[in-house]
Amino acid sequence: MQYLSEQQARQFSPLALAFLGDSVYELMIRTAILSHGNATVKNLHNTKIHFVCAAYQAKASDRIQFNPAEQAIFQRGKNAVHAASIPKSAIPADYRKATGLEAVFGYLHLSGNSARLEELFQQIWNMQSEILPIISAPHSSANEE
């Protein structure tokens, strides 16, 4: 794959970046889960669901220290979501933040910044002990934004 310059990557719409970033993020999650050992597909899928959901991604994005370029992409992604596109199962504020995070992942992938992509992913992966209990609590993020 031929990578783009950061300027070229910024030219894509935030939802196009999120479209790609969603896949990049999920692939990284699946790889991390599988690297912890073999399991049934059902168990792998159930584990993946905890990390590839708007609630987890939103909480993670609240804790990440984005650089200025990433923060701009995050804001564009977060602001690009229209109410009609938000699934009924997701809290709108969480869904917007998750879309922003996915846009950053898409941007970093397109621009070939794999070191930063891995750095952000490791931060997110390492947050699981603090985030999973929060999103597992009933109605935990209904009043947040």
- Give the active site residues: 22
Nearest alpha carbon to residue 89 among 131, 129, 127, 49: 49
Q: Tokens standing for 49?
A: 């669901």
CA distance linking residue 104 with residue 75, whole number of Å: 9
CA distance linking residue 131 with residue 124, whole number of Å: 9
Radius of gyration of the chain from its Cα atoms, rounded to whole angstroms? 15
Helix axes 92-110, 114-126, angle to 10 degrees: 150
